[in-house]
Structure 1
Amino acid sequence: MPQMAPLYWLYLFCFFLITLFMFLVLNYFLTPYSKMTLTPLKLYNNYKNWKL
C-alpha cells in the first residue's frame, strides 16, 4: 500500500536515530583505546637491544 510508505521511512529514521544514539553513548562510556595505550609501551621496554 503506498499510504504506508511515509510510515515505513519514519520507522527506519527512528531506528537509525536510536542506533546512532546507542552507538554514541557506548563510545562515550566505553573507552578501550585509553586502556590499551600503556601496554605496548611496557612490552616494548622489556625487549633487550641485541648487538651483533
Structure 2
Amino acid sequence: MPQMAPISWLLLFFIFSFTLILFSIINYFYLTPTPPSSTKLLITQSTLIWKW
C-alpha cells in the first residue's frame, strides 16, 4: 500500500477547503430575499369571556 507524500495531503486540504468555501458562498448568494408584500394581513383578535 503506497503512502501519500505530505505535499499531496496539503494539496488535498487546500482543494477541499476551497470547495467548501466556494460552496458556502454560492449557497449564501443563490437566493435573493423577496421584499415583503404591501398588502396588510388582517389580524382578528377574539376576546374570551371567562365564566368562573
So what's the TM-score if we normalise by structure 1?
A: 0.51
Amino acid in structure 2 at the alignment position of 1:16: F
Higher helix share: 1
Question: Gapped runs of 5+ residues in structure 2?
Answer: 35-52
Asked which structure has the greater CA Rg, the reply is 2
Please give the residue correspondences for 1:1-52 in structure 2 after superposition, counting only pairs within 5 Å. Answer: 5-31=5-31
Rounded Cα–Cα distance in structure 2 between residues aligned with 1:7 and 1:31:
37
* Count of aligned pairs between the two proteins: 31
Over the matched positions of the two proteins, sequence identity in percent amounts to 48
Could you tell me which runs of 5 or more consecutive residues in structure 1 were left unpaired when the two chains were aligned.
Answer: 35-52
- 4+ runs deviating over 4 angstroms: none
Q: TM-score normalised to the size of structure 2?
A: 0.51
Please provide the CA RMSD for this pair. Answer: 2.2
CA distance in structure 1 between the partners assigned to 2:25 and 2:31 by the alignment = 11
